[in-house]
A and B are shown apart, each in its own frame.
Chain A
Amino acid sequence: MANILSAKKICKSFNGVQVLKDVEFDLRENEIHGLVGENGAGKSTLMKIIAGDYKLDSGELRIDGQIAKLRNPTDSLNYGIRIIYQEFNLVKTLSVAENIFIGEYPRTSVGLIDRKKMESEARKVLDQLGQEIDVTKCVRDISVAQQQIVEIAKAVRKNCRILIMDEPTAALNDQETVKLFELIRRMRDNGTSIIIISHRLSEQFELTDRITVLRGGETVGTVNTNEVSNDELIRMMVGRKLDEMYAHADRQLGDVLLEAKNLCVNDQVRDINLTVRKGEVVSVYGLMGAGQTALADALFGSVRAKSGQIFFKGKPLRLKSPVDSVKNGMGYITEDRKADGLLGNLSVLENVSIVSIGRYANPAGILSRKKEQTSFDHWVQRLNVKFGSKSQKIVSLSGGNQQKALIARWLSNDVDLLIMNLPTRGIDVGAKAEIYSLIDLLCKEGKGVLVFSLEMPEILGISDRIYVMCNGEITGEVTAAEANQELLLKYAVSKYLHE
């Protein structure tokens, strides 16, 4: 079979960080090709280059053997490349037919929208896909599975030769998934080549003809699906052992600091049991969307858990809001620094002291600038936060310094437990190493640290104990001594495997 698409030595960097390095990928005619890799392996970036969303730095893309320049989404569309993202691009208030034809409505002779023609054409497209949906219905009134079909119909309406689907089954139940797979196979047999990005290895085995594995922005290899096993695939995804940038001194574990018993956050995140001891770094690993943030929010009390118990320092804690957890000595570094952490209009000083501010005031609530300043100086020095002046706005600092300032915010309030969700997201390597050694230091002082992370090397480097989440549940617990990447990934996909 001929290659419809081939990518050679594709390189792509963002702000000096290389995301793709000499990536090789080829797609044959009439095949379903799986693309797998850890979080951050470069899958999405590669697909966005093919879809024309990103421009490649170097390398070449060939379509039907001819060099293709894909500078923008329109170029890719003209080559018959369509992409369906995990988050649908549908206008919920418009009808099915209007969505399928969005932007290119059939017109009547006077220039009005020809609704009849649009609806009959939409019906024809759905017929070809073997699907039956009322095209006059509003998209918000149809099921998620049907919305998925509408996305596909929109994509294949005209000249679709390559269809890229990102986690197409994420929102579907088993039955809907089976139906979707039938449709995808039918499309392949009718001549469309399909690329499927999915964490769910079982689906990759069930659906694909070949699988390409990416790791750290490089191609590990492409295999025929029927010639590879689960374990082999996981080994390819994980690869070599990591290097040492992590501080991990011998730790003296104390009493249990935090304990969650049968905690159910919502319908997805349930039956959570975990403990964190004084002087211990505990991590929670999981693939993106396994429910980590919902769990972190519930442990800190920023969302209320549906049921279950949380014990803190041996006492049951009823967390109605963060007010309770802050009062009891918890701190929380959120996943999205800008949206949930920074007080953007405020200065570095005001950002650091916002939690501990009561400590610098007399009973009437009047602040002592001197006390505030002393504490601020102490913590920014200790955490090595670099800034021009204390009155400069915090948003003007680098990501790493913002993060260190936010950590200082909690430490200055003398927290016993620090919950950190993606603590090193979007910060440079130097600041990362500083944060790792800071975590180590906190543990030496008898504080507990609970880290939620998507980066396995980081987790293996800093943790004493690791919980693994998959699909909203804890599927494994391993000690630092037992842990390795293969084991973690196995637990992280355990709910997605067949057998």
Chain B
Amino acid sequence: MKNTNSNVKAKIRNLINEGSLVLVIVVLCVFFSIKTPYFLNFKNLMNMLVSVSVIGIAAVGFTCTLIASGADLTTGAMMALSSCLSASLVTNTGLPWYAGVLAALGAGLVVGFLNGLLITKFKIAPIVITLGMMSIVRGIAYIYTGGITIFITDPHLKWFGTGKLLGISIPVVIMLLCYGIFYFISRKTVFGRKIFACGSNATASRLAGIKVDTVVTVLFAISGFLSALAGLVMSGIASAALPSSADSYNMDVMTAVLLGGTALTGGEGNILKTLLGLLIIGIINNGMALLNVQSYWQMLAKGALLIVAVVYDAIRRKLQAN
């Protein structure tokens, strides 16, 4: 009796550890496929992927900083600044499209680098610095645009949101590329191993000869860069740049990352599982929209999802400890 009991427990544990995200996705897909005929077709699934691509790209950087150090709350504001900067430079100032893109991506790098520098030099919790930076960056976006929406006419900037490669939307291509590259870095490179080491125990990592401050700073710079890239995709999709955009995206990004099982305490996480967490958010949003559920309910569902994600994480940890 006792034996079977512990067997069942071990099975549940394995399930929760490994397959649960895929299982949730399958269940959600089956549910929405039964409920609506519009869910399971290529066009809708591509739409769904495009709709999560912006937070998906940013979530890659967020996962990395969370594993190594802490949350990067500048993400959403950086998206807004990046889209406004590129749109305004190209549309209003008349610079070539690539100059606008480089300026936006450069701004992301600089902001992220500053975040990393402040966090590591003054040993301040990332959440505090990036919260402050969030407001600064958002403020700059408003000041720079005067609060006005910029409509994008340049085809190159639009391409970031509406282009296609072999029938696949560019936002999805960019997102999947990001996941591929960073999965490779995190699993197969020296730098990737250092990300996990720094997050697991910064003191021990330092004593092992790792330049912890450098690793953390680089990751925040990367996170800033990816947020800027996400901002380009965002304004490309909308053909417009707004200083007020991406307001709730911090939470969406964090929900995806936490659903993916990255530990708030650092040292643990998996880029591909973030992608799975992202798909869950996308499917729920998409399915609810198809079922004509009011968007207020989507907001509620997102909040519930975040709480489910962290409770799930706590349970998983407890089971692992036993």
A residues near B, CB below 8 A? 300, 302, 321-323, 325-327, 332, 334, 339-346, 350, 353-355, 357-358, 361, 365-367, 409
- Contact A366–B200 (Cβ < 8 Å): no
Given contacts A339-B203, A340-B204, A344-B200, 17 further A-B contacts (CB under 8 A): A300-B207, A302-B206, A326-B208, A326-B209, A339-B204, A341-B207, A343-B197, A345-B267, A346-B196, A350-B193, A354-B193, A361-B189, A365-B190, A365-B191, A366-B189, A366-B190, A367-B189
A340 touching B211, Cβ below 8 Å: no
A355 and B209 form a contact (CB under 8 A): yes
Chain B proximity of A272: nearest CB distance (Å): 20
Q: Mark B199-224, 1 if CB is under 8 A from A, else 0.
A: 11101111111110000000000000
Look across to chain A and name the residue whose beta carbon is closest to the beta carbon of B184.
A366
- A366 near B197 (CB under 8 angstroms)? no
B232 at interface (Cβ–Cβ under 8 A)? no
A342 to B203 Cα, complex, angstroms: 9
B188 neighbours in A (Cβ, 8 Å): 366-367
Which residues does chain B contribute within 8 Å of A300, judged by CB atoms?
A: 207
Contact partner of A343 (CB less than 8 A), chosen from B205, B209, B211, B263, is B205
CB proximity of A374 to chain B, nearest CB, Å: 17
From A325, A341, A346, give the contact of B267 (CB < 8 A).
Answer: A346
Partner of A367, one of B190, B199, B206: B190
Q: Would you call A357 and B193 a contact (CB within 8 A)?
A: yes
Separation in Å of the B319 CB from the closest CB of chain A? 14
Q: What is the CA–CA distance of A57 and B268 in the complex, to the nearest angstrom?
A: 42
List residues of chain A with CB within 8 A of the CB of B268.
345
A367-B263 contact given A300-B207, A345-B200, A354-B208, CB 8 Å threshold = no
Residue among B194, B196, B199 with the highest chain A CB neighbour number at 10 A: B196
B residues near A302, Cβ cutoff 8 Å: 206-207
B211 contact set on A, CB distance < 8 A: 321, 323
Of the residues B203, B204, B207, B209, contact of A327 by C-beta under 8 Å: B209
The minimal Cβ–Cβ distance linking A314 to chain B, given in whole angstroms, is 22
Closest chain B residue to A346, Cβ basis: B200
Say yes or no: A350-B196 contact (C-beta < 8 A), given A300-B207, A343-B204, A345-B267: yes
Tell me which residues across on chain A come within 8 A of B197, comparing CB atoms: 343, 346, 350, 354
Number of A-B contacts (CB under 8 A): 79
Contact mask for chain B residues 235-267; partner A; CB cutoff 8 A; 1 contact, 0 none: 000000000000000000000000000010011
Q: Measured between C-beta atoms, what is the minimum distance from B286 to chain A in Å?
A: 34
A367 CB contacts on chain B under 8 angstroms: 188-190, 193
Ordered by A's residue number, 6 sampled pairs between the chains whose C-beta atoms are within 8 Å are A302-B206, A332-B207, A343-B196, A355-B208, A366-B189, A367-B190
- Residue of B205, B207, B210, B267 with most chain A CB atoms under a 10 A cut-off: B207
Q: Hey, what's the 0/1 contact readout for B276-294 against A, CB within 8 Å counting as 1?
A: 0000000000000000000
- Chain A residues, CB < 8 A from B210: 323, 354
Chain A residues with Cβ below 8 Å from B196 are 343, 345-346, 350
Measured CA separation A326–B208 after assembly (Å):
7
Residues in A with CB closer than 8 Å to B191 are: 365
CB neighbours of A353 from chain B (8 A): 193
For the complex of A and B, the 4 pairs showing the least CB-CB separation, nearest first, are A326-B209, A345-B267, A345-B200, A343-B200
How far apart are A425's CB and chain B's nearest CB, in angstroms?
16
A409, B210: Cα distance in complex, Å = 13
- Evaluate contact between B208 and A409: CB separation under 8 angstroms: yes
Q: Which residue of B lies closest to A336 (CB)?
A: B203
Q: A346–B204 Cα gap in the complex (Å)?
A: 12
| Contact partners of A365 in chain B: CB under 8 A | 189-191
Q: Which residue of B lies closest to A321 (CB)?
A: B206
Q: How far is the CA of A409 from the CA of B190 in the complex (A)?
A: 15
Residues of chain B in range 165-208 having any CB-CB distance to chain A below 8 Å: 188-191, 193-194, 196-197, 199-201, 203-208
B208 to chain A, nearest CB (A): 5
Contacts of A361 in B (CB 8 A): 189-190
CB distance from B52 to the nearest CB of A (A): 28
Structural contact, A340 and B189, CB atoms closer than 8 A: no
* CB within 8 Å for A322 and B199 given contacts A344-B267, A366-B188, A366-B189: no
A354 to B199, CA, bound (A): 13
Task: Tell me whether A334 and B207 are in contact in the complex, defined as CB-CB below 8 angstroms, given that A345-B199, A345-B200 are known contacts.
Answer: yes
In the complex, what distance in Å separates the CA atom of A300 from the CA atom of B203? 14
Q: Are B206 and A342 in contact (CB under 8 A)?
A: no
Cα A354 to Cα B195 with chains together (Å): 11
What chain B residues lie within 8 Å of A343 (beta carbons)? 196-197, 200-201, 204-205, 267
* Residues A322 and B209 in contact in the complex (CB < 8 Å), given A361-B189, A365-B191: yes
Find chain A residues with CB under 8 A from B266 CB. Answer: 345
Least CB distance from B215 to A in Å reads 12
**Closest CB in chain B relative to A358 CB, distance in Å:** 6
Q: Which residues of chain B come closer than 8 Å to A357, judged between CB atoms?
A: 190, 193-194
Query: Please, which residues of chain A bring their CB within 8 A of the CB of B207?
Result: 300, 302, 322, 332, 334, 340-341
A24 to B189, CA, bound (A): 61
| A55-B210 Cα distance, complex, nearest whole Å | 44
Residues of B within 8 A of A366 (CB): 188-190
- In the assembled complex, the Cα of A358 lies from the Cα of B190 at a distance in Å of 7
| Chain B residue at minimal CB-CB distance from A364 | B189
- Are B209 and A323 in touch, CB under 8 angstroms? yes
Q: Which residue of B189, B194, B206 contacts A322 across the interface (Cβ within 8 Å)?
A: B206
Residues in chain A near residue B199, CB distance under 8 A? 345
Do A342 and B204 touch (CB < 8 A)? yes
Asked if A342 and B209 make an inter-chain contact with CB atoms under 8 angstroms apart, the answer reads no
Q: What B residues does A322 contact at CB under 8 A? A: 206-209
Q: Which residue of B lies closest to A323 (CB)?
A: B209
User: Could you tell me the distance between the alpha carbons of A418 and B205 in the complex, rounded to whole angstroms?
Assistant: 17
The 8 A CB mask of B117-149 against A (1 = contact, 0 = none) is 000000000000000000000000000000000
Residue of B whose beta carbon sits closest to that of A343: B200
| Cα distance, A346 to B199, chains bound together (Å) | 10
User: A414 to chain B: closest CB distance in Å?
Assistant: 13
- CB proximity of A357 to chain B, nearest CB, Å: 5
Chain B residues within an 8 Å CB radius of A326: 208-209
CA distance A248 to B205 in the complex (A): 33
CA distance A343 to B198 in the complex (A): 8
Partner of A344 from B193, B201, B206 at Cβ < 8 Å: B201
Complex Cα spacing A361 to B196, Å: 17
The complex places the Cα of A493 from the Cα of B209 at a distance, in Å, of: 36
Q: How far is the CA of A353 from the CA of B208 in the complex (A)?
A: 10
Please name all residues of chain A whose beta carbon is closer than 8 Å to the beta carbon of B203 when the two chains form the complex: 339-340
Whole-angstrom CA separation of A355 from B205 in the bound complex: 9
- Closest A residue to B198 by CB, please name it: A343
Shortest Cβ distance from residue B28 to the other chain A in the assembled complex, whole angstroms? 29
Most chain B beta carbons < 10 A, residue from A332, A334, A350, A367: A367
Q: Determine how close the nearest CB of chain A comes to the CB of B7; give it in whole angstroms.
A: 18
B267 neighbours in A (Cβ, 8 Å): 343-346
Max count, chain B CB within 10 A of own CB: residue among A350, A357, A409: A357
> Nearest chain A CB to B194's CB is how many angstroms away?
8
Name the distance in Å between A17's Cβ and chain B's nearest Cβ: 25
Chain A hits for B205, CB < 8 A? 343, 354
